[in-house]
Amino acid sequence: MARALAAALTVALVATGASLAACGGEEAGQDYAGFWRAADVALADCTLVKVWEDGDAYLVRVDYEAPRSATLGAGGLRVGAAGPATASPGAGAGDALESACELVLRRGTLVLVRAEAGASPLEVVLRPVAEVAYEQELASLSDDRVRMEVMALASAVYAWAERHGGRPPAVPLFGPDSEFARSLDTLGAGWPTNPFTAEPMHSGDGPGDFAYSTAGSDFELIGYLSDGEAYAAE
């Protein structure tokens, strides 16, 4: 009788422990490291997340942003906010690409949780994907970003020309540390980031690089995509 009672108690304790683990944020035996995609992209403010170990810590990359360090706590991975050097000029102040967040393992999914002042936390459910699928979709996202940045830079060139007798900025001025780059502040923008490298865009022919030339009042601006295709501003 005593043995039967002890066995029953053991089973009950194991079941209770399993139930508590399922309700908690971190699931034993699972790893955060891997490639993840939003289950419902239309409702999420990010699409892809990559997590990998870096010594005793973790690094997290949200979409095409620069990797951010993360620390493992009782509830999950705490991801710091992007610094001024890594935040995208196009990201909003409350964007998951820029703000601090937490990653929580939950029944085979990874949930990105972002606190909102005075409101319930926002959650993005992410499902695991193969590395090949992740890289393909990241390249597509990055290509779209290059197109957007090229068009934004072209608009800034036209705005510059209006203030300088119809002449676009000279080629030496077309870079991240220039008078033209500083003029972008008046347009509520900043010098764009190469989504492939997470570094400031610069002249070149690699993915995310650009080519810029002028001829009198005309200019040509081209951005390079992941497959080497040239995208010209119109």
Domain count, the chain: 2
Q: Which helix (H) or strand (E) holds 50?
A: strand 48-54
Pairing of strands 119-128, 193-194: unpaired
Measure CA 194 to chain center.
Answer: 12
Tell me, yes or no, whether 19 lies in a domain: no
Tell me, yes or no, whether 134 lies in a domain: no
Tell me, yes or no, whether 118 lies in a domain: yes
The answer to whether residues 161 and 81 belong to one domain is no
Measure CA 55 to chain center.
Answer: 22
pLDDT at 17: 40
Q: Which residues constitute the domain of residue 184?
A: 139-232
Among 81, 101, 129, where does a domain finish? 129
* Residue 106 three-state SS: strand
Percent of the chain with pLDDT over 70: 79
Candidates 167, 146, 132, 126; CA nearest to 233 is 146
The answer to whether residues 32 and 122 belong to one domain is yes
pLDDT in tens, 7-44: 443 434 334 343 333 344 444 435 899 999 999 987 77
